[in-house]
């Protein structure tokens, strides 16, 4: 094809959402496998598999076992212990005398690990990795489905590629809960966009059982349902009401269960989290971190964590300006709010933002525009981001000794 016959770059208008949540039954069809999804998933798997190979090679050179780096690091040890022995069997006394218990960790992931080991001859660590890797692919599939539904095939592919290449995307290949939460949240949001309220509420309930930040998926369902009720003046199907009732049950149920076990029904869980230095302080902890960082420095991990969090806040503002669908804005906004307003280890905050894939929509839109206008530049940007992701992910997992 000659360059004169190549299609010209399209104007900015077509990049507005091409599919709004439909009102008619005929447009509410469930399309979980839109065109191009296999290519996007192949790209995602290739990037993350390269990350595993890089971690394996570095682990071998450094003499650290690969299984320890991938399946038995930091929070993974707590989840796998819960899967093997149940709750209430593991505590840790900090240097300040705080008693950290395993009740801080939500139950869905360890329950699934236990179920897999009951039917498949795998160790808990191998089962945890199998679940995490499978959930990561399902999550990428959901991210693509949302991107395709709202913006079209090109943006959906860019969205998956960007999500696979984030600096902390190495977490998607570890025995952590982020892949499972991201998978449940992505398909929950897709169900909301498709008007499948009962399914959305059920997935939000499961997301609420996977992580403390599962409340973000619950908020997305409840706000979207409330908006629909107001918009239609209460004339909504029973499934919407049922989905709204189901959505918070997982998160609220576990919080109350922990409260009952501690003897303080409504505050017990939050006291458990407080022992892990995780409490709502409206950003005071983040300001203290900034002060310490500027006064004493922080190597590589902490400054980059600050850059990632600041970028997340900026991307949320851009997401709002793009007028993205309400459920996506609420979900991403809730995760950003939790990261900024809740104290905790700052090095882990980029990991907490990893499931907030809607934040990447403005970047995906810009990348597609660049691809159509200046393809070599887009390839250079994508390749650079992927290389940085693989290198930094390997450093975090196989070299650095700071909590991830």
- What are the distances in angstroms from CA 25 to CA 28, 63, 232? 5, 59, 15
The three-state secondary structure class of 88 is coil
Angle between helix axes 284-296 and 301-321 (nearest 10 degrees) is: 130
pLDDT over 90 percentage in the chain: 64
* pLDDT surpassing 70 at residue 11: no
Q: pLDDT tens digits, residue range 255-307?
A: 999 999 999 999 999 999 988 878 888 778 778 877 777 777 667 888 888 89
- What's the first-to-final CA gap in the chain, in angstroms? 49
d(CA 126, CA 123): 5
d(CA 81, CA 85): 6
Query: What value does the mean pLDDT of the chain take?
Result: 87
Q: pLDDT tens digits, residue range 37-77?
A: 999 999 999 999 999 999 888 888 877 777 777 888 888 99
Q: pLDDT tens digits, residue range 216-237?
A: 999 999 999 999 999 999 899 9
CB count in 10 Å sphere of residue 398: 23
**pLDDT at residue number 14:** 37
**pLDDT at residue number 28:** 58
The three-state secondary structure class of 11 is coil
Q: pLDDT tens digits, residue range 114-168?
A: 999 999 999 999 999 999 999 999 999 999 999 999 999 999 999 999 999 998 9
């Amino acid at each position: 094809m000659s360059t004169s016959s190549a299609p010209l770059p399209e104007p900015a208008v077509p990049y507005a959402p091409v599919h709004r949540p439909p009102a008619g039954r005929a447009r509410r069809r469930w399309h979980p496998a839109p065109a191009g999804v296999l290519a996007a998933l192949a790209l995602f798997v290739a990037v993350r598999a390269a990350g595993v190979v890089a971690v394996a090679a570095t682990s071998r050179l450094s003499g650290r076992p690969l299984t320890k780096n991938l399946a038995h690091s930091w929070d993974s040890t707590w989840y796998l212990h819960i899967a093997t022995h149940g709750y209430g069997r593991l505590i840790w006394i900090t240097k300040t005398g705080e008693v950290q218990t395993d009740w801080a960790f939500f139950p869905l992931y360890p329950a699934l690990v236990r179920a897999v080991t009951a039917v498949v001859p795998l160790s808990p660590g191998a089962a945890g990795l199998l679940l995490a890797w499978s959930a990561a692919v399902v999550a990428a599939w959901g991210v693509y489905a949302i991107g395709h539904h709202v913006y079209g095939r090109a943006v959906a592919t860019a969205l998956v590629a960007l999500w696979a290449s984030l600096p902390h995307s190495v977490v998607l290949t570890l025995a952590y809960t982020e892949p499972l939460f991201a998978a449940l949240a992505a398909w929950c949001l897709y169900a909301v966009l498709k008007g499948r309220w009962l399914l959305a509420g059920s997935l939000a309930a499961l997301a609420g059982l996977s992580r403390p930040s599962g409340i973000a998926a619950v908020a997305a369902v409840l706000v979207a349902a409330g908006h629909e009720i107001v918009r239609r003046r209460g004339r909504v199907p029973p499934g919407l009401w049922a989905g709204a009732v189901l959505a918070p049950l997982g998160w609220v149920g576990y919080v109350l269960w922990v409260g009952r076990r501690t003897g303080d029904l409504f505050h017990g869980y939050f006291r458990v989290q407080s022992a892990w230095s995780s409490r709502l302080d409206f950003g005071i902890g983040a300001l203290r971190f900034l002060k310490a960082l500027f006064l004493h420095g922080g190597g590589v991990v902490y400054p980059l964590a600050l850059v990632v969090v600041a970028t997340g806040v900026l991307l949320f503002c851009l997401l709002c300006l793009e007028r993205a669908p309400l459920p996506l804005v609420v979900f991403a906004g809730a995760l950003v709010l939790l990261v900024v307003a809740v104290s905790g280890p700052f090095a882990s905050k980029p990991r907490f933002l990893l499931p907030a894939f809607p934040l990447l929509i403005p970047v995906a839109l810009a990348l597609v525009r660049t691809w159509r206008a200046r393809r070599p530049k887009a390839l250079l940007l994508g390749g650079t981001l992927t290389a940085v992701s693989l290198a930094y992910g390997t450093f975090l997992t196989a070299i650095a000794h700071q909590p991830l």
